[in-house]
Structure 1
Amino acid sequence: MEDLDVVAWVQVHEGRMLAVRSRGRDLLYLPGGKREAGETDWSALSREVREELALELDAATFRELGVVRAPAHDQPAHAHVRMACFTAAYRGDIAATNEVDEFHYVAPADRGLLAPAARAALDLARTRGLLP
């Protein structure tokens, strides 16, 4: 079974990581998603964040944080998710739009609210010194 290959934005503020709840999902995910044909990591992530949160990411600050692999949640066609995680500054006010119902900043203690790949990204952010 092939991994679901996605990109994700890791945004940390005051010791908490931004997570979103997509329509019909029980756990929180990171903003981001699948690349469309021909998209680079940057173009896919900037499009997804614009669609999900009405924000513009800053290309000059776009940095790879790392790649995580975790069991897929709510994705019956895929056993695992391979998620390339990136950081970037943004412009705008965060707003849940399109398929996103809500957003939250979660602390490391809230890891049980996160889908497995988002938990792995939270651990990566801690390892890289972005979270306490």
Structure 2
Amino acid sequence: MTAPQTISIVAAMIRDETKRVLLVRKRGTTAFMQPGGKLDAGESDLVALRRELREELGCTLVDGSQRPLGRFSAVAANEPGWVVDAAVYAVAVQGPIEPQAEIAEAIWVDPARPGAIELAPLTRDHLLPLAALEQSDV
């Protein structure tokens, strides 16, 4: 068996005033995940994240709000045989959050109790546990 190929992405941890986390589901898929996506050639993480948030949700990243949370790897939710390597940032956004382009649905979840929804492995195994831990430290 060959080793899985890797997709490099950038992802956003966006929280509301009650510390819920924003998740999105792409059209034609079933798993919820953090907003974000692949970097275009020559893009930095934050340039790509700013572009992805505008394209996917119609909102704007608040300048200076980004806080790096780390790099995480997990099985890709929508690309069989692939692994995602994600640079993840906690960010604030401004403007209405409305699904655009390839996003079918956006929801807010309690990271400690997301409910009976399908979660992408990166979100399920790394990012919601991290958000729940940060929430308990407050």
Q: Cα–Cα, structure 1 residues 15 and 91, in superposed 2: closer, same or farther, change >3 Å?
A: closer
* Gap runs ≥5 in structure 2: none
SS in 2 for 1:122: helix
Give the structure with the higher percent helix: 1
CA distance in 2, matches of 1:84, 1:106: 21
CA distance in 1, matches of 2:67, 2:57: 19
Calculate the aligned-residue CA RMSD, in Å.
1.7
Identity of aligned residues (%): 35
Question: Contact 1:12 / 1:130 at 8 angstroms: preserved in 2?
Answer: no
Of residues 23, 28, 50 in structure 1, which corresponds to 2:32? 28
- Counterpart for residue 50 of structure 1: 54
Of residues 85, 88, 91 in structure 1, which corresponds to 2:88? 85
Which range moved further: 44-53 or 105-114? Answer: 105-114
- Counterpart for residue 101 of structure 1: 104
- Counterpart for residue 131 of structure 2: 125
- Counterpart for residue 119 of structure 2: 114
Give 1:77 deviation, angstroms.
Answer: 4.7
Query: TM-score scaled to structure 1, two decimals?
Result: 0.89
Give 1:2 deviation, angstroms.
Answer: 2.6
- Find out whether 1:16 has 2:23 as its counterpart: no
Query: TM-score scaled to structure 2, two decimals?
Result: 0.86
Structure with larger Rg: 2
Q: How many residues align?
A: 130
Which range moved further: 48-57 or 88-97? Answer: 88-97
Give 1:29 deviation, angstroms.
Answer: 1.3
CA distance in 2, matches of 1:124, 1:3: 22
Q: Cα–Cα, structure 1 residues 131 and 65, in superposed 2: closer, same or farther, change >3 Å?
A: farther
CA distance in 2, matches of 1:123, 1:65: 12
CA distance in 2, matches of 1:4, 1:67: 13
Question: Contact 1:54 / 1:94 at 8 angstroms: preserved in 2?
Answer: yes
Give 1:59 deviation, angstroms.
Answer: 2.3
Which range moved further: 69-78 or 114-123? Answer: 69-78
Which 4+ residue blocks in structure 1 deviate beyond 6 angstroms? none
What one-letter code is carried by the residue in structure 1 that aligns with 2:114?
Answer: D
